[in-house]
Amino acid sequence: MLQPAQLYCINSDCRQPHQNAGNKYCQACGTPLLLRNRYLVRQKLGSGGFAMTFAVWDFQLQRDRVLKMLTETAPKAIELFEQEAQVLARLRHPGIPQVEPDSYFQVASPQRRLPCLVMEKINGQTLQDLTEQYPQGCPPEWIVDWLRQAIDILQLLHQQQIIHRDIKPSNLMLRQGSGQLVMIDFGGVKQLHSFAPTSSTRLFSPGYSPPEQSAGASVNGTADFFALGRTLIQLLTGQSPAAIEDPRTGTLHWHSYAQVSPRLASLLDDMTHPDPRRRPPSAEAIRSRLLPILDSYTRTGATAAVAIKQRRSIKLPNLGRSVLWMLRSIWWMVTAVFATLWSTVLAAIGAIVGTTIAYGMAFYTDWGTNLIAWLSQQLSDRSPSFEIAIGVDLLIFALAGWGTAWGLTAAGGLGQRRRIWSGAIGALAYSIGWFSLHRVQPEGATAGLTMFAAIAPPLLVLGLGMTRYALLRSIAAIVAIPPCIAILAAHSSATFSLWQMVTTATLDNWTFWPCLLFFGLLAVLLAACLSITHYLLVPIVDWLIHPSASRPRSRSAAHR
């Protein structure tokens, strides 16, 4: 190796860390530059909350290494740092940075002693880097491959009674060339005398650590499974855990962002269950469930190592990157348009089916009349002052709402859930809208139907089970749908027959088609509104709330 033109002082308090080659000691603070007569510090790689990393040349092994220097002076921090050195020194696995038994030492500086740990330099990139290169998510084949490798590493750690406790995208690297997954940053490891849960020093990474670890409670190996599962879900979907977490249950609603096999989805859901008792109990249990998944995915496409290597070798120019970005955008638009069309078709079909069933009950059976008579009697008994006369038109509105909600939920793709409950709430929402319509009946068809559109669709949206930004979607329905219905009511003769049915509470064959037209069109408007909100407004709000997820980060390829 040629002697570098400059050396670097590892003392974090040094004001002039850049030093001329040939100096044995820093000319500014007196800290040694050649450590243990073996390591020559070449440059600073990065710094975190408790440590700094440096590139060093190992004269004995004649290769580049990484030196990690602890900047925190608290006794507990030093204890954890020494523990990290001991753990790494006795572990031998290609997925763990190699550390020699004598790689931990302290360097004397004028101010204090500097704890240092020299370890293997991992050339490659972190999985955090891949979240920035693949914002729409990585292929499932890569996720399965990384899960297999990570479980191999965790099985070794857990057999040695070691819990990593800080698995996240930035602490997982891929070796350049081979694509071997490497777990780094063992500064937070917990040694157990047994695999039973035990108390531990409070250490957690928001979004990745399990609830029991974040609360400072006892943890076991399932904490690593939880963090690994959340890491892989982020890489699979392109969504940060915080953006898709249900604040009430602590689960992630990620299935609409990625298409994977049911077995893989079930395994990731179990690994990230908030209750540690519901997670897989061991790495071997995960491996047994992973084997059939591996068989299905290893036959489809290249591994992550090959694909990433090919990506690097291409070295796309700016024009090529722009074309790639444009193709991805076009694919996203095609997907969004198809999902929107599918939602509008099923919502319209649901509304038409619900309306048709209601007409059938009213015209060809006594069920509709008997049901309305019973409901009218119940309201009269409980509220004698109730002035609105209930007719079979209420049944039309209720079943139209049921069909619309059922169709929207059946379409999927927008985060809808609870098909049965959403149908019931859809019927309730349209019934409430029917009552509000009668409150403004003297104002005419335009005011009445506009009032209905301002109340019923937003309430229906709240019943679809959308856990992310449900209120935003409901507000969007309030803003967008009533003006469209007002224009329709003011300029369409079809609304006259519909309004006549509402005001007279009578049904005939002439009102059937206007009802189909009105409720079908309303379902189409609602589905379109939900799709626009899902594909445009929700990402904008996500970006505003989590701007750091979309900012480019400057990071060294060397591990911390």
Do both 430 and 349 map to the same domain? Answer: yes
Q: Which of 62, 94, 120 is the last residue of a domain?
A: 120
Per-residue pLDDT band for 197 (boundaries 50, 70, 90) equals very low
Do both 157 and 136 map to the same domain? Answer: yes
Which residue among 166, 185, 393, 542 is the active-site one?
166
Q: Is residue 520 part of a domain?
A: yes
pLDDT at position 128, please? 92
Q: What percent of the chain has pLDDT over 70?
A: 79
The domain that contains 64 carries what CATH number? 3.30.200.20
pLDDT at position 156, please? 92
pLDDT at position 93, please? 92
The yes-or-no verdict on residue 78 having pLDDT over 70 is: yes
Name residue 305's amino acid. A
Render pLDDT for 251-277 as a digit per residue (tens, 0 to 9).
999 988 888 888 999 999 999 999 999
pLDDT at position 278, please? 93
Q: Is residue 352 part of a domain?
A: yes
Q: Is residue 296 part of a domain?
A: yes
Q: Is residue 410 part of a domain?
A: yes
pLDDT at position 494, please? 63
**Mean pLDDT on 450-458:** 91
SS3 label, residue 20: strand
Do both 368 and 414 map to the same domain? Answer: yes
Q: Which of 291, 315, 339 is the last residue of a domain?
A: 315
The token pair at 295 is 């068989």
Q: Is residue 552 part of a domain?
A: no
Render pLDDT for 397-410 as a digit per residue (tens, 0 to 9).
899 999 999 888 88
Q: Is residue 485 part of a domain?
A: yes
Do both 66 and 103 map to the same domain? Answer: yes
Which of 551, 408, 433 is CA-nearest to residue 502?
433
Q: What percent of the chain has pLDDT over 90?
A: 36
Per-residue pLDDT band for 115 (boundaries 50, 70, 90) equals very high
Per-residue pLDDT band for 469 (boundaries 50, 70, 90) equals confident
The yes-or-no verdict on residue 374 having pLDDT over 60 is: yes
Quote the CA–CA distance of 2 and 24 in Å, as a whole number.
17
Do both 291 and 388 map to the same domain? Answer: no
State whether the Cα torsion 482-414-338-541 is positive or negative.
positive
Instruction: Return the top range by mean pLDDT from 259-268, 303-312, 359-368, 383-392.
Output: 259-268
More confident residue, 550 or 88: 88
Do both 395 and 500 map to the same domain? Answer: yes
The token pair at 269 is 């859901």
Do both 247 and 329 map to the same domain? Answer: no
pLDDT at position 511, please? 72
Render pLDDT for 410-428 as a digit per residue (tens, 0 to 9).
876 665 555 567 778 888 9
The yes-or-no verdict on residue 380 having pLDDT over 70 is: no
Question: Facing residues of 65 across strands?
Answer: 56, 120
Q: Quote the number of domains for the chain.
A: 3
Render pLDDT for 37-56 as a digit per residue (tens, 0 to 9).
899 999 998 877 688 899 99
Do both 66 and 38 map to the same domain? Answer: yes
For the beta sheet containing 39-47, the strands, ordered from the edge strand earlier in sequence to the opposite edge, are 34-35, 39-47, 51-58, 63-70, 113-120, 104-108
Q: Is residue 560 part of a domain?
A: no
More confident residue, 34 or 442: 34
pLDDT at position 550, please? 40
Least confident stretch, 14-28, 223-237, 335-349, 491-505: 491-505
Q: Is residue 559 part of a domain?
A: no
Do both 181 and 32 map to the same domain? Answer: no
Quote the CA–CA distance of 289 and 342 in Å, as a whole number.
34
**Mean pLDDT on 510-528:** 86
Q: Which of 315, 342, 364 is the last residue of a domain?
A: 315
Mean pLDDT of the chain: 81
User: What's the per-residue H, E or C state across 470-519?
Assistant: HHHHHHHHHHHHHHHHHHHHHHCCHHHHHHHHHHHCCCCHHHHHHHHHHH
More confident residue, 302 or 290: 290
**Mean pLDDT on 353-373:** 80
pLDDT at position 125, please? 92
Domain carrying residue 214? 124-315
The yes-or-no verdict on residue 301 having pLDDT over 60 is: no
Do both 100 and 159 map to the same domain? Answer: no
pLDDT at position 17, please? 92
Whether 224 is a known active-site residue: answer: no
Alpha-carbon dihedral angle through residues 411, 415, 418, 424, given to the nearest 10 degrees: -70
The domain that contains 303 carries what CATH number? 1.10.510.10
Quote the CA–CA distance of 95 and 117 in Å, as a whole number.
18
The yes-or-no verdict on residue 171 having pLDDT over 60 is: yes
Do both 44 and 113 map to the same domain? Answer: yes
Do both 211 and 110 map to the same domain? Answer: no
